[in-house]
Structure 1
Amino acid sequence: MSETLKVRPKVWIGLAIYIGYVIVVFVVQRLSGIPYTDLGESGGNLFLGAGLSLIIAAVLLAITTTLLGWWRPALFEQKRSIRWPIIAPILMVIALLINLASTDWGSYDGAFFAASVVLILVGFTEELTTRGLLLTALRARLSEVWVWFLTSALFALMHLMNALGGQAILPTLQQVGAAFLGGTIFYIVRRTTGSLIWAMALHGLWDFSTFAVAHGTPGPFAGFGTILYLIAGVLALVSVAFVIRGTHERTEAVQAPQR
């Protein structure tokens, strides 16, 4: 199916958007002067050290997507895949709920909670960057298996920024590995539901829940959320081939005529 877009999707455009996003977020976070390891100390730290960069990135991404005319291919599939692989995302939702149930909500004040809510924007920014715009660009030339792998791998590599922000290298590498699993789950959400919007919501709420459960004193079942997430990630790796199989989502768009 061909669509009339303002700019024809090309791989280099998607990679440029990805690199631009990483640079913007990194620079804004570093200009705040707040190390990654100190984000949880106060609402001000969390907003200036993380939330502000997400707000700026969200605005820039929305402008970029509009100028390119890529909203539809970035947000919606032409055809949904088979449904049963959605089991992995469902397990992730259960893990999310365990995190929220295990959170020490008494340790929150109003400012910290408000700043935490801003973090949900990460679902919009990171998903639109990787499994939205980058995915649209990659589909112009590459097979779907490469689209899945590269969007998941580059999403995972984003998290190396945390080491530059002060986090130790070992937990950062663990975060990168976990993010690849998460990226695969979000890709499956897009393919099985036909929309990136559900992946944005799951991503944003997941990050909120993992940050929330780490604040204060978590409940006794907090570790089960992480275990279930890893199980969901492994299941996603096993089942992703089934949502890739038979995919016909190549971007064969024609550029809009000049007026």
Structure 2
Amino acid sequence: MATESTTPLRVRPRIWIGLVIYLAYVAVVFTVQQATGIPYTSLGDSGRDLFLGAGLSLIVGAVLLAITTSLLGWWRPALFERTRAAHRWPIIAPVLMAVALGVNLASTDWASYDGAFFAASIVLLLVGFTEELTTRGLLLVGLRSRLSEVWVWLLTSALFGLMHLINALSGQPLAPTLQQVFLAFGAGTIFYVLRRVTGSLIWAMVLHGFWDFSTFAVGHGAAGTLAGLGPVLEIVAVVVALVGVAFVIRGADERTATP
């Protein structure tokens, strides 16, 4: 349904504002993670390492993003579309991703979790709020002030993928980091499709948060026999999203309203 807002924005959206917010978020996350001294490759060692190495930066980022969005007055355009996409079938891509998520959770060795590790893992759900609000929220609002929707999709997905390069600076080998960047571009396209089809970023936040939780969970302990199916379904979902994105962009008129 349409979610047109009659309340003027406090700050006129600009491309540079969205880019500054994006860069600031990446810088904050990287700085906090480096300050804890926990390398990326050690996040799965204990609940303490997971919380300090990842969870703490997400908490700090979430607080700063909420303050920034409130000061700008961008909550509504960041979270809601004015009109949903006319074509609904591309929702198949996020549905496939949700099925892959379920496979990951079903393949997880839950016996390997202790209370502290599980609690720290729950904090990881914040990644859906922080990374979606940064890229397909505030950055998207800034880009929509000047650019066509195809560029909005392409840049938000590409910058979402490039965001993961900081993992290489935190100790992850370069080859798997580059693979992560390309997969994140595909996942970003899935989340963009979900926003356009449902008319809200909130569903993308939920799917994103639980997806990262599931991929981390299945890698902890001894994975079940179905674990290999999750990545296959993810690739299929990315392919469907790359085909469907043209249909959800078609006819989009989401230029950000000005004060």
TM-score bracket relative to the smaller structure: over 0.9
TM-score, length-scaled by structure 1: 0.97
1:252 CA drift (Å): 2.5
How far, CA to CA, are the matches of 1:136 and 1:161 in structure 2?
24
Question: Gaps spanning 5+ residues in structure 2: where?
Answer: none
How far, CA to CA, are the matches of 2:136 and 2:50 in structure 1?
26
* Pairing of 1:1-259 with structure 2 (within 5 A): 3-81=7-85, 82-254=87-259
Question: Gaps spanning 5+ residues in structure 1: where?
Answer: 255-259
Question: 1:132-175 CA distances to partner (integer Å, 9 max, x unpaired)?
Answer: 00000000000000000000000000000000000000000000
CA RMSD of the aligned region, Å?
0.7
Question: 1:12-66 CA distances to partner (integer Å, 9 max, x unpaired)?
Answer: 0000000000000000000000000000000000000000000000000000000
How far, CA to CA, are the matches of 2:152 and 2:7 in structure 1?
19
How far, CA to CA, are the matches of 2:257 and 2:36 in structure 1?
42
Q: Which secondary structure state, in structure 2, belongs to the residue aligned with residue 222 of structure 1?
A: coil
2:120 maps to a residue whose letter is A
Percent identity, please. Answer: 72
Structure 1 segments, 4+ long, off by >4 Å, are none
Question: 1:105-147 CA distances to partner (integer Å, 9 max, x unpaired)?
Answer: 0000000000000000000000000000000000000000000
How far, CA to CA, are the matches of 2:231 and 2:8 in structure 1?
43
How many residue pairs match? The answer is 254
Contact map agreement 1:3 1:252 (CA 8 A) in 2? no
2:28 maps to a residue whose letter is V
Q: Which secondary structure state, in structure 2, belongs to the residue aligned with residue 53 of structure 1?
A: helix
1:3 CA drift (Å): 4.8
TM-score, length-scaled by structure 2: 0.97
Contact map agreement 1:3 1:253 (CA 8 A) in 2? no
1:54 maps to a residue whose letter is L
